[in-house]
Amino acid sequence: MDQIKAQASRIRLSKDGPDCSRIVAGVMKWGSWGKGLSTEEMHRLIDRCLALGISTFDHADIYGGYSAEAEFGRALSRVAGRRKMIQLVSKCGIRLKSKNRPSHKIKSYDTSAEHIIRSVEESLKNLQTDYLDLFLIHRPSPLMDADEIASAFHRLKIAGKVLHFGVSNFTPAQFALLNDRFPLVTNQIQVSALHLEPFLDGSLDQAQQHRISPMAWSPVGGAKMFDEAGNERISRLRAKVQEIAGHYRVEEEQVLLAFLLRHPSKIIPVMGTTRVDRLQAAVEAEQVVLSRESWFEIWEASVGQEVP
């Protein structure tokens, strides 16, 4: 593809939901779980994201072993007024064993009202902000009480600490349960050309039904899409993606992102990279419109057989 001086477009997650960038910056690997960026490096990366029109940043309390939000907050605070230019997303519900949480004896889930409210307040302090644009329950718990979660959401919204709420990794039934108690604006799920389950299990159908845009983590299939040797399925899919990339004169990752962007539920990719060139390519992928036949070629290569 010729050089495109593109910026990420804007999208509203739902009728009453927040306005976000169509490409989201995932912060999970910015700190100790990944590149270990310094405050200055994070500050520069935030600036580069904004220059690309990427204004939405995806966090979770557990990232970096409960350290990433505070690191990002320090970087964000270096420029006055920057908070108004971005949208902050965070999550809670997973309790990890960590040196920063010595009371956690095992990995577990906690979706109690007390934990949700305490987690939000901790995220606000660490991110050095008064509010979150979007807050998600990170994973559903077998002990999840929908009424209790809804009560916590209501209290946080009334207090102005969170503007909008959603979930992550919820099945359609779990989403429907909580959405019945409190209006949700998104479900952040694993979906890619390598992970097709949401196309089949009703997750993306439900998103269209409620006119919400799902967020996609690992939208290009993660490192194994490019590093795992000896896997027949990945080799077959890579070969097809390379062929299509050549036809459209774009990069492989752009084809994989275009595969998601083509879907009518208006999937929002969360890019978990610190590389500016990959973020730029992701923004430019919005310009790549796959034909219906190209889309199904990717599907067929992933599944290993033609559609019924």
The residues assigned a catalytic role are 63
CB atoms within 10 A of CB 187: 28
Distance between CA atoms of residues 241 and 160, nearest Å: 45
- Spell out the residues 6+ positions from residue 42 whose beta carbon is closer than 8 angstroms to its own: 30, 71, 72, 74, 75
**Of the candidates 173, 266, 145, which has an alpha carbon nearest to the alpha carbon of residue 215?**
266
**Among the listed residues 281, 279, 280, the one whose alpha carbon sits nearest the alpha carbon of residue 255:** 281
Strand, coil or helix: 280: helix
What 3-state class would DSSP assign to 177?
A: helix
C-alpha distance across the termini of the chain, in Å = 34
